[in-house]
């Protein structure tokens, strides 16, 4: 990995890119990779992101975060009750509804 570095002209140690197979120096002291392209090509990083994505998808949605829609069942007209709950809400965001017409 890129823990070892090179000594540049000013005598300071520069870090080497963390991607396996790349031996270029990084441009900033806080950087891990020499470029954005090198970061995107790093197989270790890509596998770590892929694994995080798999874990996030496998996790069930907590009941606290689920949408609750309570309707009064005793009402004779459920459509009217639903319309009452949805007053002031649009299916299309305000900015997009102007473009549709």
Sign of CA dihedral 83, 88, 89, 92: positive
State the Cα–Cα distance between residues 84 and 94, nearest whole angstrom: 19
Residue listed under structure tokens 């639903």? 82
The 3-state secondary structure of 47-67 reads HHHHHHHHHHHHCCCCHHHCC
State pTM to two decimals. Answer: 0.45
Per-residue model confidence (pLDDT) at position 86: 78
Question: Tens of pLDDT along 44-69?
Answer: 999 999 999 888 887 776 766 667 66
Please name the helix (run of DSSP H) or strand (run of DSSP E) that holds residue 14, with its range, or none.
strand 13-15
Structure tokens of 60?
């069930």
Instruction: For residue 64, report the phi and psi dihedrals to the nearest 5 degrees.
Output: -65, -35
Per-residue model confidence (pLDDT) at position 1: 44
Per-residue model confidence (pLDDT) at position 72: 60
Instruction: For residue 91, report the phi and psi dihedrals to the nearest 5 degrees.
Output: -70, -35
10-residue mean pLDDT profile of the chain (101 residues): values are 53 82 90 92 94 84 68 68 76 60 53
Per-residue model confidence (pLDDT) at position 40: 92
Per-residue model confidence (pLDDT) at position 2: 42
């Amino acid at each position: 990995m890129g823990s070892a570095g090179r000594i540049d002209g000013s005598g300071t140690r520069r870090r080497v890119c963390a991607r396996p197979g790349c031996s270029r120096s990084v441009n900033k002291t806080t950087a891990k990779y020499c470029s954005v392209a090198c970061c995107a090509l790093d197989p270790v990083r890509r596998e770590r992101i892929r694994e995080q994505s798999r874990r996030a998808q496998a996790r069930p949605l907590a009941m606290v975060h689920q949408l609750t829609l309570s309707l009064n069942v005793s009402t004779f007209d459920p459509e009217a009750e639903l319309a009452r709950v949805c007053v002031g809400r649009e299916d299309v965001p305000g900015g997009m509804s102007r473009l549709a017409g």
